[in-house]
Amino acid sequence: METILFIEDESSLQKTVGETLTQEGYKVIPALDGEIGLKLAKEKKPDLILLDLILPKTHGFEVLKKIKEDADIKNIPVIVLTNVEGMEEIDKAIELGATTYLVKAQYSLKELIEKIKKVLE
Amino acid sequence: MNTQNKINSQLIKTAQIALFLVERVKGIEPSSSGWKPDIIAAILHPLSVVGVPGFEPGLNPPKGLVLPLHHTPYKHFRLKILTVCFRLVNEYGKIKNLMNLIKRIFSELNIVEQCKKYNLSLWQCPQFLFLVMGAIIVISSLFTYAFGTRYIEDPLIVAFIIQLLALILFVIAVIITRSFERLAEANRLKSEFVSIVSHQLRSPLSNLKWTIELLMSGKLGKIEEKQVEYFKIIKENSNRMHELVADLLTVSRIETAKLPFKKQLFSMEELVKKIINEYKPLANAYNVEVIFKNQKQLPNVFSDPSRIELVVENLLDNAIRYVTDKGKVEIELSKKNNHVRFSIKDNGVGIPQQDKKYIFQKFFRSENVLKKQTKGSGLGLYISKAIVERAKGKIGFDSEERKGSTFWFMVPIK
C-alpha cells in the first residue's frame, strides 16, 4: 500500500481528501503544520507528499526546501496543493523541486485523485 | 377709452397671441416662458418697441405664423410687435440654454460633492486644491503686477513677493501630491482587501466543493434520489460562489496590475472550436443553436491563450444565457489588418440605449437582463475589456433592445 503524507492545516480538508484517498487504497498520514510535516516526512519516508503553502510554524516553501536538501527524502515527489495562485509562487515551487503545482479551486476531487495517481505511476 | 389706451389694449392682446404662437412654433410651453402680460405690455409699448435694442423694423415674423388680427388699423405695429416677440423668445431660449450650460458646468465643478465621493475633506481633496492653486496663481500674478508696477520701485521687494508666492504654491502642490497618494493608497487597500477576502473564501469553498463531491459519489453510503436533487442545488451554488470569487480575484489582479499575461502564438480557430464544444450542454439547455463561420487560412495570434479563452467564454456565455425563444448565436472569425477579429451575434434581449455606456463597467447589469436572468456578477464584460486592452486589442459592440447584440474583439497577430 502506497503512503501519502498530507501536510495541510485545515482539518476538514484533511478529512475529505484523506477519506477519498483511503477509499482509493492509499495510506494517508496527516500533518497539521509544517514542522510536524517535515518530521513525519523524515520518519515515515512516504511515497508522495501533498503540501499546502500557508502553514503554521513552518511555511510550505521552507518545508519543500528542507525536503529537497535532505538526501534521504529528496526523491519523494511533492505535489504543492494550495489556493495561492500567483505566477511567482508557481515558479518558486517548481524551482525548489516540486513535481507539480495544483490550485485547489481549479480541480474537482476526481481530477485531484487522477493527478496523484499519475505522479505515483 | 382714448386712442392711446385702445392701442395699448390691442397691443397687449396681439402680443399675447403672438407670443403664444411663437412659443408653440418653438415648442416651448406658453406658461414656462415667464413673460407676464404686464411685462409684455411694458416692453411692447409703442415707445418701447422702437427702443428695443437689436430691433430691426424690416424683419418679418416666422413663416407659417398666422396673424389673427390682420386688416386692423394697427397692422404696422402688430408686425413690429410680432417680430420683437419672436426675437425676445428666441433670445430667451438662447439665454435659457446658456443658463442650463452654466448650471451643468457648475454641477460638474461641484467640488464639494466630488470630494465627498472620495471621502476626503476639502483641504485634502485634489480638485479643490487645484482650484485654490489656480486662483492663487491668477490673483497673485495680477496683484504682483499691479502692486509692483505702481508702488514698489525696489526690484528686490518684487522678487521677494514672487519667492513668497512660489513657496505658497509649492506647499499647496505638496499637499495635492499627498492627497493623490492617499487616494492611490485607498485604492490599493481596496484591491488588497478584495484579494485577501477572495483568497480566504477560496479555501472553505474548495473544501465545500470536494465534500459535496465525496458525498455525491456514494462512497460514504448510498444516497436517496431526493437527496441527490438537493445535493445538486448545494453543488450549483457552491460553483457559483467559486466563479464569483475567481472573477473578484481576476478584477483585483487587473486593478493591481498583477494579472499574469504570458504571450504565445496560438490558433484562434482551435480555441473557439474547443470552447463551442465545451458550451454545447449549456447551449442545448437554453435551446440555442451556435453557428461558427470561419475565414480560411487565418494566421495565428500572439497573446495569452488562457486569458483570451476567458474573453470568448464570457461573450459566449452571455450570448447563450440572454437569448429569447429559439436562440441563434453566430460566431465569426476574420482577419482585419494586423488583427484577428472575433465577433459573436445573438438574437437575445439586447442592451437598452441608456445602458450602453455602462456595459463594460464593473458590477453593472442591465435592467432587462436582471429581469430575465438573475445569475451573474456583472464582472464578465469588465474583465473581458481589461484582458483585450492588455492584449493591445480592441473590444466593442452593437446592440438593439429586444433584437440582439453583436460583441466583437480583435487580437493582434504579432
pLDDT at B112: 72
**Does B199 contact A at CB distance below 8 Å?**
yes
Are residues A108 and B246, on separate chains, in Cβ contact within 8 Å?
no
Which range is least confidently modeled, A25-39, B112-126, B252-266, B383-397?
Answer: B112-126
Helix (H, G, I), strand (E, B) or coil at B108: helix
Instruction: Give the start-to-end residue ranges of the domains of chain A.
Output: 3-120
**Does B203 contact A at CB distance below 8 Å?**
yes
Does domain B137-259 fall into CATH 1.10.287?
yes
| Cα–Cα dist B411/B308, whole Å | 9
The shortest C-alpha distance from A110 to chain B (Å) reads 8
User: For the sheet containing B339-346, what is the strand order?
Assistant: B288-294, B327-336, B339-346, B404-412, B394-400
Are residues B207 and A16, on separate chains, in Cβ contact within 8 Å?
yes
pLDDT at B387: 93
Rounded mean pLDDT of A56-66? 93
Place B368 in a pLDDT band, splitting at 50, 70 and 90: confident
**CA of B199: how far to CAs of B203, B204, B376, B411, in Å?**
7, 10, 20, 31
Residues in chain B, total = 414
B34 residue type, one letter: G
Average pLDDT, chain B: 76
Which range is least confidently modeled, A105-114, B44-53, B151-160?
Answer: B44-53
**What percent of chain A has a predicted confidence (pLDDT) above 90?**
79
Place A67 in a pLDDT band, splitting at 50, 70 and 90: very high
Rounded mean pLDDT of B312-333? 89
Give the tens place of pLDDT for each residue, B274-312: 999 999 998 998 889 999 988 888 899 999 998 999 999
Residue B376 falls in which region: left (phi positive, over 0), alpha (psi -120 to 50) or beta = left
10 Å CB burial of residue B412 (0-12, 13-18, 19+) is: middle
Give the tens place of pLDDT for each residue, B81-91: 666 666 666 66
pLDDT at B114: 67
Place A29 in a pLDDT band, splitting at 50, 70 and 90: very high
**CA of B136: how far to CAs of A64, B143, B144, B177, B398, in Å?**
62, 10, 11, 17, 47
Q: Return the ∠ at Cα A28 (arms to A26 and A29), rounded to 5°.
A: 155
pLDDT at B89: 63
Give the tens place of pLDDT for each residue, B189-235: 777 777 777 777 888 888 899 999 999 988 888 888 888 889 889 98
**CA of A29: how far to CAs of A5, A6, A121, B391, in Å?**
5, 6, 20, 45
Q: Which fold has domain B264-412?
A: Heat Shock Protein 90 (3.30.565)
Q: Between β-strands B339-346 and B404-412, what pairing exists: parallel, antiparallel or unpaired?
A: antiparallel
Which range is least confidently modeled, B59-68, B121-130, B340-349?
Answer: B59-68
| Cα–Cα dist B312/B268, whole Å | 10
**Does B239 contact A at CB distance below 8 Å?**
no
Contacts of B90 (CB under 8 A, 6+ apart): B26
Check residues B388 and B72 and name the one with the higher pLDDT: B388
Chain A residue numbers with beta carbons less than 8 Å from the beta carbon of B213 are: 108-110
Give the tens place of pLDDT for each residue, A12-25: 899 999 999 999 99
| Cα–Cα dist B82/B20, whole Å | 11
**Does A88 contact B at CB distance below 8 Å?**
no
**Does B394 contact A at CB distance below 8 Å?**
no
**Does A91 contact B at CB distance below 8 Å?**
no
Instruction: Quote the cell numbers at residue B340.
Output: 484577428
Residue B196 falls in which region: left (phi positive, over 0), alpha (psi -120 to 50) or beta = alpha
B264: nearest Cα among B308, B301, B299, B311: B301
Helix (H, G, I), strand (E, B) or coil at A32: coil
Rounded mean pLDDT of A61-84? 93
Instruction: Give the start-to-end residue ranges of the domains of chain B.
Output: 3-108, 137-259, 264-412
In a mutational test of the A interface, the residue from B197, B201, B206 whose CB has the highest number of chain A CBs within 10 Å is B206
pLDDT at B32: 45
Residue indicated by cell numbers 504654491: B169
The shortest C-alpha distance from A58 to chain B (Å) reads 19
Instruction: Quote the cell numbers at residue B76.
Output: 404696422
B57: nearest Cα among B77, B42, B41: B77
Which range is least confidently modeled, A32-41, A84-93, B42-51, B267-276?
Answer: B42-51
Place B28 in a pLDDT band, splitting at 50, 70 and 90: very low
Q: Return the ∠ at Cα B312 (arms to B308 and B316), rounded to 5°.
A: 170
Rounded mean pLDDT of B12-22? 60
Give the tens place of pLDDT for each residue, B150-188: 776 777 777 787 788 888 888 888 887 777 777 777 777
Are residues A105 and B242, on separate chains, in Cβ contact within 8 Å?
yes
Helix (H, G, I), strand (E, B) or coil at B224: coil
Chain A residue numbers with beta carbons less than 8 Å from the beta carbon of B202 are: 83, 104-105
Give the containing element (helix H, strand E) for B339.
strand B339-346
**Does A85 contact B at CB distance below 8 Å?**
yes
User: Which homologous superfamily does the CATH classification assign to the domain defined by A3-120?
Assistant: Response regulator (3.40.50.2300)
pTM above 0.90, yes or no: no
Place B45 in a pLDDT band, splitting at 50, 70 and 90: very low
